[in-house]
Structure 1
């Protein structure tokens, strides 16, 4: 990726040229494979990303923030301290990319919506250290989550039912893994009005009610299947009003396709959680779907949407099944394939699983230990009714500005710029 592309991705001053990139422990290994960067004298300056949002353009982002605690109330306590380094760095990244709408995965839920307000007032609306400029999101909402909600059944097959909040056993038998209700939930911040009355949530949709589901045979009890929900957190269709246009933010955070046994319950659930959106966006396939208010069916044909979230599945590599591959190949939407220089440098410099991966490193969005390697797990996939005008992943290489900010999470912020079709009027 050239400096021009990184400029467009971050909306910050252009990088200086460097002929022999240095390495850090993050990028140690096959350093000779790391790219070099040259100035682009003909680069067109990026418009001011902090200007008033244009009526037909929108920057939509997703970011797994790792803003969670080990007990209920921990996140509120953390965010009440404006000097806490972790949320400072998360806010710094958001201030550099400056999305109009952003989904925050792994952001603990609280009934009073206090955490999201504190994050806005104490961190986003305060200029952070690394060239950050205050940014305001007047419309904010935290979503309830199946994580940490007791199921009352043995869901992990150990012949016990965990009933003590805060224990691993409790989390394993909750509807979605969580040590307490609302851990690892998600929130949305927007510069544009959120239509809460038009919002649809699918937290209570039962896994067994999805046709051709991948529920493992003879693993869950009959009684457990009567209550087992598909979504490990929630699936949310959130309409956002943008100067007379409506765009549907389809947000979720499926369970990782890991931490299970030979039955593959988490792999199977991850695949069906992702497939839910594949069915939801096509009327002919969504008759079986019902929301938490009892309304049936999927998204209206021709509606504008962006599917966002940490989907925990790579289309090519990793332990998932074929759900992400199905989604990115869907003709109903556009896969903008966001990329970054840091993903290339890290993927080619690190040993382990990365050496076995088949996908192009530049599309990775998350980095893990060498046994897992780097993967594309985070997505912003707009409908084919929209025009993609930009994309990116906040993942600078070790030779570039803001590299130190990537340590704040093992996932990186992913964004896409979309334009609405021009009216015939």
Structure 2
């Protein structure tokens, strides 16, 4: 739903404008096997699925990047998800969901445990092909996708071969899930949506394979933001600017990119013992490292942001129970005004 509002100048003249809400949400809808997500959505009785739908319905985003949504060859899970949202009055006429790298067999023992074919041996972590993919939903027209998901990691960073088994550098991509650039048309204005779904920087060894890959993924997103017209970065970096694991320098480079702005969306947040970051900016309720800010919507510096937020309701809020039952992640949204 494109929102109309009026901006009043000091001279008492007024100009109408429209806002578009762009959001990202790490849903944790992935399941333990193929077709299970489709089953749970189709039945309409899964508490977690329904809680995720409650959060999406409350957000009323015009453009929404959903992370951790299982992919299937015929796209049935995504179609079922769109139908469930349509039943709630949210019609997303456009979507993008090509096959991800997650769960795709690599043929190598990438984690070095002596066994092949396990989740951490895939091109991107996944127990089956398409495990934990992503989908971009939009009420507004989308242009032709540019897919950087096949870019080899070693082509981005030649030193990647040092943390991979011999020969694996020829098949392992930089993108652990996927890396897209999708044009978005808003009433004559063209934006470039740059997805962000970086590898977790932990669960490896002293070689820091996951941490290096995460930083390189953030670096690619930063480079894309400097080359495409009117960039809007959205998704999960898996790095907090102040707390937790990961290359905070790579995260700072993205947040301080001259082509982008950080609207610092705020919610109630979680806060963690000894944390340095503002708890109101937290976007995920991790158990080990505690709540962190790892999900972002970063519009182009040239765009006018009029509002932003994180759906992290306070206890007693009607949406609080759904937010906790849906996912450890919290939906992040930004409203952008267009004359």
Q: TM-score, normalised by structure 1?
A: 0.73
RMSD (Å), alpha carbons: 2.0
Residue matched to 1:223: 167
Aligned partners of 1:103 and 1:214: how far apart in 2? Answer: 31
Does 2:282 align with 1:355? no
Relative to 1, partners in 2 of residues 1:85 and 1:126: Cα closer, same or farther, differing over 3 Å?
farther
Larger displacement relative to structure 2 (404-413 or 141-150): 141-150
| Pairing of 1:160-309 with structure 2 (within 5 A) | 160=115, 162-163=116-117, 170-195=118-143, 198-211=144-157, 215=160, 217=162, 219-283=163-227, 299=228, 303-309=229-235
Aligned partners of 2:156 and 2:247: how far apart in 1? Answer: 17
Aligned partners of 1:141 and 1:78: how far apart in 2? Answer: 21
Out of 323, 327, 336, which is 1:406 matched to? 323
Task: Give the secondary-structure state (helix, strand or coil) at the position aligned to 2:244.
Answer: coil
Which protein shows a greater Rg? 1
Does 2:72 align with 1:145? no
Does the 8 Å contact 1:124/1:136 carry over to 2?
yes
- Structure 1 residue 57: deviation in Å? 2.3
Residue matched to 1:86: 48
Out of 91, 95, 109, which is 1:154 matched to? 109
Residue matched to 1:394: 311
Larger displacement relative to structure 2 (136-145 or 229-238): 136-145
Task: Give the secondary-structure state (helix, strand or coil) at the position aligned to 1:67.
Answer: coil
Aligned partners of 1:135 and 1:227: how far apart in 2? Answer: 39
| Pairing of 1:327-338 with structure 2 (within 5 A) | 327-338=254-265
Q: TM-score, normalised by structure 2?
A: 0.91
Does the 8 Å contact 1:317/1:357 carry over to 2?
yes
- Structure 1 residue 272: deviation in Å? 0.8
For structure 1, the residue ranges without an aligned partner over 5 or more in a row are: 1-10, 12-43, 46-53, 128-133, 164-169, 284-298, 348-353
Does the 8 Å contact 1:55/1:243 carry over to 2?
no
Does the 8 Å contact 2:160/2:169 carry over to 1?
no
Residue matched to 1:167: none
Aligned partners of 2:46 and 2:190: how far apart in 1? Answer: 36
Task: Give the secondary-structure state (helix, strand or coil) at the position aligned to 1:362.
Answer: helix
Aligned partners of 2:316 and 2:48: how far apart in 1? Answer: 22
- Structure 1 residue 84: deviation in Å? 2.3
Does 2:257 align with 1:340? no
> CA offsets, 1:370-400, max 9 Å, x none?
x311100100000112111110000011133
- Structure 1 residue 401: deviation in Å? 2.8
> CA offsets, 1:208-267, max 9 Å, x none?
1115x66373x3234111222100011000112222222111113111111101111111
> CA offsets, 1:270-301, max 9 Å, x none?
11111111111224xxxxxxxxxxxxxxx2xx
Does the 8 Å contact 1:156/1:173 carry over to 2?
yes
Does the 8 Å contact 1:314/1:325 carry over to 2?
no
Residue matched to 2:285: 367
Residue matched to 1:100: 62
Residue matched to 2:9: none
Aligned partners of 2:277 and 2:97: how far apart in 1? Answer: 34
Aligned partners of 1:87 and 1:126: how far apart in 2? Answer: 14
Does 2:237 align with 1:311? yes
Residue matched to 2:87: 126
- Structure 1 residue 141: deviation in Å? 2.6
For structure 2, the residue ranges without an aligned partner over 5 or more in a row are: 7-15
